[in-house]
Structure 1
Amino acid sequence: MTPALQFDNITCTFVSKDDRSQRYTAVANTDLAIAPGEFVSVVGPTGCGKSTLLNVGAGLLQPSSGSVKVFGEELKGINRRAGYMFQAEALMPWRSALQNVIAGLQYRGHEEKAAAELGEQWLARVGLQGFGDRYPHQLSGGMRKRVALAQTLILDPDIILMDEPFSALDIQTRQLMENEVLDLWNAKKKAVLFITHDLDEAIAMSDRVIVLAAGPGTHPIGEFRIDLPRPRDVAEIRMHPRFVELHQQIWDVLRDEVLKGYQQQKRAA
């Protein structure tokens, strides 16, 4: 099967603005493929290059070497078949929840009435029916994340890129949002590349978990098939004996990299 998203020998090196002789390689010689309908999470130490890899997949960052393929075709420019849900809120404060949800449709030239009807449907799907006229400052953090989720999925992307989208939420709201994403994903089975620091979250949601090394020059050092039954409730699945086994196996690989990343941050400080 042709991968939905494929990274071939990706390297990303950045040059210092102040001293062009100084270079930092964030990602080195990385290969990774996500199949259509597959939910893949990437975990690794803080600052190891997870978001860099996601930006390359979105077409927001050109790699120094290597290539990205989208359903077998080399990516040039922005990945038009992907939707991107950012860690930081990307809602426009001057637009209502509904207007935020349909912004992408409007930019693509969809007729206003049809876009609004579809927007209302998506607000209902993420549990925000009746909140379309509220502005971001009138919504809770979890509600704003639901708007952002609807904003991403309304465009029906073939690939969904998610960069720690729930990290700022309290644990109860976070679990609700994780289950919401799994329900929506299960309905259409899009390819998902999910970046997270939370190993529990990665295991609970994914088909596969990829572990990245501490930077510089991060690259995959472990790959784990998550053979837990679906559908899943992210809170209940943590009690499954196999979940505990997988957590231990992945943590055995991840632990040393987290310690390396921590020591590197201490030296930089």
Structure 2
Amino acid sequence: MSDCALSFAAVSAAFAAPGGGRYTAVAGVDLDVAQGEFVCVVGPTGCGKSTLLNMAAGLLQPSAGQVRVFGQPLDGLNRHAGYMFQADSLMPWKSAIDNVMAGLIFRGTSPVEAREQARYWLQRVGLAQHADRYPHQLSGGMKKRVALAQMLILDPRIILMDEPFSALDIQTRQLMENELLDLWSADRKSVLFITHDLEEAIALSDRVVVLSAGPASHPIGEFAIGLPRPRDVAEIRLTPHFVELHGRIWGAMKEEVLKGYAQSQGMARASGGRHE
């Protein structure tokens, strides 16, 4: 695609297995994310979703195939991308505002300008009154807002998100999902969002990509999400179109989820046996 922000072309990733040999996490993946498109990837636990994201970020080199960013082969870190991790990545010894401005300081922005921009972004995510609080003084949702501001202040053209809201309660998660959509709609950056929650994927995205169970995971289906925007993620779940989409996509991934579960149970039993 000529208008691709991010493109995987026949990409595979293999690793050394603990017992010897090689384990292929993903194999032959072809996936494009257009400029301004919000794409969610879903699949069974352990199917290589985070592996794809790490290759998109340039943190992991493909064993085969190629990742391209705005048409150019990715070599090293993806300087166009911002990455929001599943785990809390805030520095506990820094206040909220110092965490948000840290990336700009690293880039060489003056402390005065960086602090001014950080205050603006804390206001954008509704935390202007909590700028001087430390992470341990913030709720889970507040910490995610700080992490979101920390990423967006760097103005990435591509946003990579690895199950960023999975640890939150359902009410806080839906607030954060709406917050993300509001911020994204302002300039429509390209988003690759990893989640195990099919409802979250449908509520957020323009397109949902389903991965097979591993090993050698690969896309087995793509579904355009024609739900109108702007969206309220709680309300959109109640519409007939959402329910119909959920049924179709779950039909495509149910068997793979069961395969992934069976594999994880088998590995757990094998691991238990080795310790006996």
Q: TM-score, normalised by structure 2?
A: 0.96
Q: 1:209 maps to which residue?
A: 208
1:176-222 superposed Cα distances (whole Å, 9 cap, x missing partner):
00000000000010000000010000000000000000000000000
CA RMSD of aligned residues (A): 0.7
**1:18 Cα deviation from its structure 2 partner:** 5.8
Deviation at 1:240, TM superposition (A): 1.0
CA distance, structure 2, for counterparts of residue 224 and residue 30 of structure 1: 16
Counterpart residue type for residue 104 of structure 2: L
The correspondence of residues 133-144 of structure 1 with structure 2, limited to 5 A, is: 133-144=132-143
How far apart are 1:15 and its partner, in Å? 1.0
Partner SS, residue 109 of structure 2: coil
Scaled by the length of structure 1, the TM-score of the pair is: 0.98
Residue of structure 2 equivalent to 1:166:
165
**1:90 corresponding residue in structure 2:** 89
Q: Provide the residue aligned with 1:46 in structure 2.
A: 45
Which ranges in structure 2 are unaligned for 5 or more consecutive residues?
269-276
Q: 1:80-229, aligned counterparts within 5 Å?
A: 80-229=79-228
- 2:36 aligns to what? 37
Q: Which runs of 5+ in 1 are unaligned?
A: none
- CA apart distance, 1:154: 0.5
- Aligned partner of 1:16 in structure 2 is 17
Q: How many residues align?
A: 267
Deviation at 1:70, TM superposition (A): 0.4
Q: Distance in 2 between matches of 1:96 and 1:262?
A: 41
Secondary structure, in 3 states, of the residue corresponding to 2:67?
strand
Tell me how far apart the structure 1 counterparts of residues 139 and 163 of structure 2 sit (CA, whole Å).
18
Aligned residue identity for 2:187: K
Q: Which amino acid aligns with 1:6?
A: S
Q: CA deviation at 1:2?
A: 2.2
Structure 1 residues 72-117: Cα deviation after superposition (integer angstroms, max 9, x where no partner)? 0000000000000000011000110000001110000001101000
SS at match of 2:172: helix
> How far apart in 2 are the matches of 1:165 and 1:243?
22
Distance in structure 1 (CA, Å) of the matches to 2:19 and 2:154: 40
Once the 2 structures are TM-superposed, how far is the Cα of residue 17 of structure 1 from its aligned partner? 5.5
Percent sequence identity over aligned pairs = 68
CA distance in 2, matches of 1:103, 1:112: 9
Residue number in structure 1 paired with 2:68: 69
1:242 aligns with 2:244: no
